[in-house]
Structure 1
Amino acid sequence: MLRKIIATSTAALALTASAALAQSENPMVGGAPMFADKTIVENAVNSADHTTLVAAVQAAGLVETLSGPGPFTVFAPTNAAFEKLQAGTVENLLKPENKEMLTKVLTCHVVSADAMSDAIKGMIDDDGGTHPVPTVGGCTLQATYDGDEIMLTDERGRTANVTIADVDQSNGVIHVIDEVLLPAM
């Protein structure tokens, strides 16, 4: 009986350690753990740094899409990135009559692929230092890197830095960025 209890306890401990190890591979984002077995939306709603992005995704009706199978790479601007926009821009985009423009802005942060930072750097190297990144919103971002930091430049010449890379999701990957990327208007 004692052996059975020890074997059961050992198995439970191994499972707990395995789950902790799997979770520890992902960085914390916005003070919250990010779980590789959850979707982009399931993880994003827990990040204190992405409440504006989550509200925008909800207003644009993209929750179901970004909860789908993907794969997606999402360049996720923080609340601070949204605050850098001209005063009133976010509030204006969140109005129902501006849903089409909001959707365009958000989908210019999404790529139909699961692209971890090493893969992005490899594509940049293959293309001689700059790699065009077509988004599902029809925008083309220009990816570059310096050391470990990946940068994305939008069609207006604004550059966002990836501040937290490789946040693995069940349906893709999130890279946290410090600017909102905008389409050419």
Structure 2
Amino acid sequence: MRALCAVAAAAIAGWGFVPTVWADDKPATVADIVASSQNHTILLTAVKEAGLVDTLKGKGPFTVFAPTDDAFKALGEDTIKKVLADKDLLKKILLAHVIVGKEAKAADVLKLDGQEVNGFKIDTKSGVKIGEAKVIKADLLAGNGVVHVIDKVLLPK
């Protein structure tokens, strides 16, 4: 088991994620995947501030479009602080990144071309986009869903 974890960790080390199966053979949750990423520290802080950790560790299934730290930083430090201070706005923004009740792997997302998900249009003409955000890493599988890494924060209207 440890060898499998080491191989999986090496394969995804460039994104800073840990394996999707823990040493005790329990599958990682989408919350665990985000928490283990070196590139999603701001998202993790936001999920904690919004009180959504237990939700994302729950039964699911969930599809999470996870903006990187660079995506958050592009909003500007003042905007990040403002959003983190407003719990209702924070939850609204974070939940725009989650499809509850569905595990939409990359192949499933491709079938959604032209449709709206959480108010954001899916475009698969050149890569995969949800709204203006590009999927830059797909199909990080968890026991309760899937995580897709995106390069922009989805801001609901």
- TM-score exceeds 0.5: yes
TM-score, normalised by the number of residues in structure 1: 0.74
Per the alignment, residue 8 of structure 1 pairs with none
Structure 1: distance between partners of 2:31 and 2:148: 13
> What do the CA deviations read for 1:34-93 (whole angstroms, capped 9, x no partner)?
415200111211111000000000000001111101000000000000011144011111
Distance 1:81 1:181 in 2: 10
Work out the CA distance in 1 between the residues paired with 2:5 and 2:103. 23
TM alignment of 1:21-170, pairs within 5 A: 23=8, 27-28=12-13, 30-35=15-20, 37-95=27-85, 98-112=86-100, 113-124=102-113, 130-134=114-118, 140-147=119-126, 149-153=127-131, 159-170=132-143
1:170, 1:22 → 2: CA distance? 19
Q: In the alignment, is the contact (CA less than 8 A) between 2:65 and 2:148 conserved in 1?
A: yes
1:131 deviates by 1.7
CA 170–91 in structure 1, closer or farther in 2 if over 3 Å, else same:
same
Deviations 1:78-120 (A, max 9, x none): 000001114401111112xx10000000000000210001111
**Given that residues 117 and 165 in structure 1 are in contact (C-alpha distance below 8 angstroms), is that contact kept between their aligned partners in structure 2?**
yes
Q: TM-score, normalised by structure 2?
A: 0.86
The structure that has the greater radius of gyration is 1
Structure 2 residues not aligned, in runs of 5+: 22-26
Instruction: Give the Cα separation in 1 of the matches to 2:38 and 2:106.
Output: 23
How many correspondences in the alignment?
Answer: 150
Partner of 1:3: none
Cα deviations by residue, 1:1-29 (Å, 9 ceiling, x for unpaired)? xxxxxxxxxxxxxx566x459947x7446
How far the C-alpha of 1:32 sits from its partner, in A, is 2.7
**Percent identical residues:** 35
**TM-aligned CA distance change 1:68 to 1:173, over 3 Å:** same
Pairwise CA RMSD: 2.1
